[in-house]
């Protein structure tokens, strides 16, 4: 059985409350984080305990962490790498002690996910995140801060924190000599270093794919397609080294066959983000409602493939549209994600009953 969850950024950061999340049918757990921590810092046991207590007191549980972010020093093998890895290990140990066993992270340089618009209006009046390659090609990374700040409804978005946007020039400089092979080697080094603590506490590491699934701004991207998974899962061939199957991110590249990727990765899928998107032209897509009929993906085929490989980890709807006048962090309002959770569970119930 899958564990249907919603992402929750934590008290003080999320516009959606746990009281509301608890009323989404079938959702018993949240995927959360210590949003105030910086990559490279060790998470304190007491802070994890406090967050856990807060969530459990409201009738939900922590189904996993998204994200424990990986520092730039680890990604580029900079001078602070050893210290940051030690801190990462400490964090994993503290999470393991609190019985938390799934950690989502990414290995994208400088930016996390990237969109050219955060509120494109669709024909039904909903607003959605969208990506247009021509707009991105014209964006000057030096002025990214202004573009992002004017688009984010005043919320701080993951990967786009103000202090990072302040130092984009320096960040780009750090990655100047990092090509995709070096980045990949640094990922493998990191995964090997955290292996013992993951195995001791049975922590499953779930790398998030790059979004969009191709290099942007001249920066390398290494988790984009089936071949990347072949390389990654072989390089550290241990159960703890697994993936976040994110249909929206992998699906940005229409050449990615999601069903085939799910069958290839099988039991190394530790977490699933299931959402739909709609392609308008080969250089332009927008995020759709979760329903197959609203976008370009076959959501039934995706849920069926997850069922077929016996996936039983946490799963969540992702990037909802902004509807019904909700004011929330782009992609992370309550209403459309709740619709998504209900729809995905409907597909799943039908699949289970037919098998
Ligand atoms: C976007 C998310 C990503 C994801 C990170 C994982 O909404 O899916 O920001 O959390 O890439 O580290």
For the ranges 137-141, 159-163, 244-248, 280-284, the maximum mean pLDDT occurs at 244-248
Taking CB atoms and a 6 Å cutoff, what residues make up the pocket around ligand 1?
66-67, 104-106, 112-113, 158-159, 208, 273, 319, 331
Q: Is pLDDT of 93 > 80?
A: yes
**Side-chain half-sphere CA neighbours of 77 within 13 A:** 14
Residue 152 has pLDDT above 70, yes or no: no
Task: Determine the pLDDT at residue 151.
Answer: 65
Best mutation site among 33, 72, 102, 112 for ligand 1, i.e. most ligand atoms within 8 A of its Cβ? 112
- Cis check: omega of the bond before 212, within 30 degrees of 0: yes
- Would you list the domain boundaries of the chain? 3-353
The question of whether 143 is a catalytic residue gets the answer no
Q: Which of 211, 270, 328, 340 to mutate to test the pocket of ligand 1 (most atoms within 8 A of CB)?
A: 211
Residue 143 has pLDDT above 80, yes or no: no
User: What class has domain 3-353?
Assistant: alpha beta
What tens digit of pLDDT does each residue of 9-39 get?
999 999 999 999 999 999 999 999 999 999 9
- pTM comes to 0.95
> In this structure, what is the dihedral angle of CA atoms 242, 247, 248, 250, given to the nearest 10 degrees?
70
Collapse the DSSP code of 209 into the 3-class scheme (helix H, G, I; strand E, B; otherwise coil) and give the result. Answer: coil
Phi, psi of 74 (to 5 degrees): -70, -40
Assess whether 319 carries a catalytic annotation.
yes
User: Nearest Cα to 217, choosing from 288, 282, 147?
Assistant: 147
Q: Find, among 203, 221, 234, the residue nearest to 43 by Cα.
A: 203
Structure tokens at 346: 């409907």
CA distance 62 to 41: 21
Confidence of residue 281 (pLDDT cuts 50, 70, 90): very high
Average the pLDDT over 206-228 and give the result: 94
Cα–Cα distance, 98 to 280 (Å, whole number): 45
Contact between 99 and 268 (Cβ < 8 Å): no
- Confidence tier at 158 by pLDDT (50, 70, 90): low
Give the chain's largest Cα–Cα span.
55
Phi/psi of residue 237, nearest 5 degrees: -90, 65
The catalytic residue among 104, 198, 246, 265 is 246
C-alpha distances out from residue 237 to 147, 162, 203, Å: 41, 37, 15
Least confident among 141-150, 221-230, 261-270:
141-150
pLDDT of residue 43: 98
What residues have CB less than 8 Å from 23, skipping those under 6 apart?
Answer: none
Q: How far apart are CA 237 and CA 187, in angstroms?
A: 14
């Amino acid at each position: 059985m899958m564990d249907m969850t919603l992402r929750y950024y934590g008290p003080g950061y999320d516009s959606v409350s746990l009281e509301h999340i608890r009323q989404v049918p079938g959702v018993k757990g949240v995927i959360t984080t210590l949003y105030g921590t910086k990559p490279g810092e060790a998470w304190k046991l007491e802070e994890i305990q406090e967050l856990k207590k807060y969530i459990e007191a409201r009738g939900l549980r922590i189904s996993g962490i998204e994200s424990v972010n990986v520092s730039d020093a680890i990604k580029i093998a900079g001078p602070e790498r050893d210290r940051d890895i030690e801190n990462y290990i400490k964090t994993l140990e503290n999470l393991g002690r609190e019985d938390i066993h799934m950690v989502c992270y990414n290995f994208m340089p400088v930016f996390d996910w990237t969109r050219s618009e955060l509120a494109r209006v669709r024909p039904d009046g909903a607003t959605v995140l969208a990506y247009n390659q021509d707009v991105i090609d014209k964006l000057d990374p030096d002025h990214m801060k202004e573009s992002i700040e004017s688009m984010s409804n005043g919320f701080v978005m993951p990967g786009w924190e103000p202090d990072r946007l302040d130092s984009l020039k320096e960040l780009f400089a750090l990655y100047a000599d990092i090509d995709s092979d070096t980045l990949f080697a640094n990922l493998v080094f990191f995964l090997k270093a955290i292996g013992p603590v993951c195995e001791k506490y049975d922590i499953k590491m779930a790398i998030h794919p790059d979004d969009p699934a191709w290099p942007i701004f001249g920066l390398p991207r290494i988790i984009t397609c089936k071949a990347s998974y072949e390389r990654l899962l072989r390089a550290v061939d241990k159960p703890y080294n697994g993936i976040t199957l994110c249909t929206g991110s992998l699906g940005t590249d229409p050449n990615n066959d999601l069903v085939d990727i799910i069958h290839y990765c099988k039991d190394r899928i530790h977490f699933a983000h299931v959402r739909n998107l709609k392609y308008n032209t080969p250089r332009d897509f927008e995020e759709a409602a979760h329903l197959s009929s609203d976008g370009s993906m076959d959501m039934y085929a995706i849920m069926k493939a997850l069922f077929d490989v016996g996936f039983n980890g946490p799963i969540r709807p992702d990037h909802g549209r902004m509807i019904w006048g909700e004011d929330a962090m782009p992609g992370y309002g309550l209403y459309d994600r709740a619709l998504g959770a209900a729809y995905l569970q409907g597909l799943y119930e039908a699949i289970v009953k037919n098998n």
